[in-house]
């Protein structure tokens, strides 16, 4: 015999870019998936600062669409060039 119960579960229904606000999920994915818990086709920027840093204890997490992630990468490449770090 199986015992069942109804449970409320939170599921991810959309993911938005933290830079521009656009959805990072293609419409097809939204229409054909019950949830997006395993969706991972977007960029993520995460930083955590430890003790004795200027931002001690700060933590940052940003979900980014492909366009904004590419702009971020281009900016990092530009900074590397400016500081003479490109090889």
Q: Write the pLDDT tens digit of every residue in 3-20.
A: 878 888 888 999 999 999
Average per-residue pLDDT for the chain: 91
**76/82 Cα distance (integer angstroms):** 10
Enumerate the domain spans of the chain: 27-82
Mean pLDDT, rounded, for 49-73: 92
Matching residue, tokens 């998936």: 33
Tell me the three state secondary structure of residue 16: strand
- How far is CA 37 from its chain centroid? 13
């Amino acid at each position: 015999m199986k015992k069942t119960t109804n449970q409320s579960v939170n599921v991810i229904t959309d993911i938005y870019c933290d830079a521009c606000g656009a959805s990072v999920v293609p419409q097809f994915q939204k229409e054909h998936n019950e949830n997006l818990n395993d969706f991972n086709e977007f960029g993520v920027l995460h930083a955590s600062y430890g003790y004795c840093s200027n931002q001690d204890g700060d933590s940052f997490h940003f979900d980014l669409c492909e366009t904004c992630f590419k702009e971020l990468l281009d900016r990092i490449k530009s900074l590397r060039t400016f500081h003479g770090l490109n090889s």
